[in-house]
Amino acid sequence: MKLFPTLTLAVALTGVCSGASIVQTRNITPYTAGGTRTVNFDRFDTQGGTRTLTGVTLSFSFDKLGGSYAVDNDSTDSGSIIFDHELRGRLTSSDVTVGSAGTNISALSDFTTTIGANDGDPQGQFDVGTADYVIYSPADILGTTTSATIAPEFWAAYTGTNTFNVNFVAIQSFGTSGVGGLQSQTIASQVAPSVTVTYSFIPEPTSALLGGLGLLGLLRRRRH
C-alpha cells in the first residue's frame, strides 16, 4: 500500500520533466511574388525562470501558384525554345538570427517546345499570333520547404515577454532561350507562404520537484 504514492510521484515527476514545445505558425495571404511580407512572433517567456529553453527552430514553406509567360517570335527563324520560371523564397529579420532559413530556396519549372518564324505581325512588339506565338503556364508547385535550427548563442534574441518580426522575401524570374527576336509578356505567379517558429523547453527541476511533492502530499491527505 505504501508503494502506490511513491509510484504516482515518480510518474508525475517524469511527466513534468519531459520536454515540451510551443509552435507558432503564421500563414500569409497569397500575394503577387516579388515582394516582402512581415510576420510577428512571441518571444519565449521563461515565466520567471521556471522554464528553460532547449531549442529554437525556424522554418517556412511556400506554394507557387499560377502565372504565365507568352512569347511572340519576330524573327525569321523557327526552332526549339526553352521556358524557365523560378520563384525563390527566403527569410530575413533585423530582430533575430534566422540561420539557414535566410538562404534562398527555389521552386523551379521549365518547358521545351517549338515556335514558328514570324507570320507577318509587326516586329519589335508583342502580338498574339498563330505559329509564331507560344504561351507557357507553369504548373503550381506546392510545399517548397526549408528549416533552420538556431544555435544556442543566438537564443537570447528569441527570449523575453515581447515580440519580434520575421520577413518572408519572394523573388521570381521568367526566361526563354533558343531563338532570337522574341517579344514576351508575363503574368506573375502568386506565392502563398507560411512561417513557423518552434520552441523546445523543459520546466526547471525545482519546479518539477515542488509539483511532485505537492501531488504526493495531496495523495497522503486523501489516504488519511
Cα separation, 116 vs 75, whole angstroms: 9
CA distance 157 to 175: 40
pLDDT value at residue 47: 96
1: confidence class by pLDDT, cuts 50, 70, 90: very low
Given a cut of 70, is residue 12 above it in pLDDT? no
φ, ψ at 52 (rounded to 5°)? -115, 125
Mean pLDDT in residue range 204-211 = 55
pLDDT of residue 23: 98
Please tell me the distance from the alpha carbon of residue 27 to that of residue 31, in angstroms, as a whole number: 12
Better-predicted residue by pLDDT, 109 or 1: 109
* The pLDDT of residue 8 is above 80: no
Whole-number pLDDT of residue 206: 53
Structure-block grid coordinates of residue 63: 506554394
Of 133, 135, 114, 127, give the one whose Cα is nearest residue 178. 114
State what percent of residues in the chain have pLDDT above 70.
Answer: 83
What value does the mean pLDDT of the chain take?
A: 87
pLDDT of residue 92: 98
pLDDT of amino acid 13? 38
DSSP letter for 159, please.
B
Type and span of the H or E element at 218: helix 205-223
pLDDT band at 124 (very low <50, low <70, confident <90, very high): confident
Instruction: Please compute the mean of the pLDDT values over residues 103-123 and round it to a whole number.
Output: 94
Residue-wise pLDDT for 136-184, tens only, equals: 999 999 999 999 999 999 999 999 999 999 999 999 999 999 898 999 9
Within 10 angstroms of residue 81's Cβ, the number of other Cβ atoms is: 19
Q: In the block, which residue shows the cell 515582394?
A: 35
Exposed / middle / buried, residue 14 (Cβ in 10 Å: 0-12, 13-18, 19+): exposed
∠ CA 135-136-142 to the nearest 5 degrees? 150
Beta strands in 75-181 (DSSP E): 79-92, 105-115, 133-136, 141-150, 163-177
- Give the helix/strand (H/E) hosting 17: helix 3-17
pLDDT exceeds 70 at position 9: no
Q: What is the pLDDT of residues 40-57, one digit of tens each?
A: 999 999 999 999 999 999
pLDDT above 90 coverage of the chain, percent: 75
- Predicted local confidence at residue 125, as pLDDT: 87
Q: What value does the mean pLDDT take over residues 124-140? A: 92
pLDDT value at 194 more than 70:
yes
Other beta carbons less than 10 A from residue 157's beta carbon? 14
pLDDT of residue 78: 94
The amino acid at residue 186 is: T
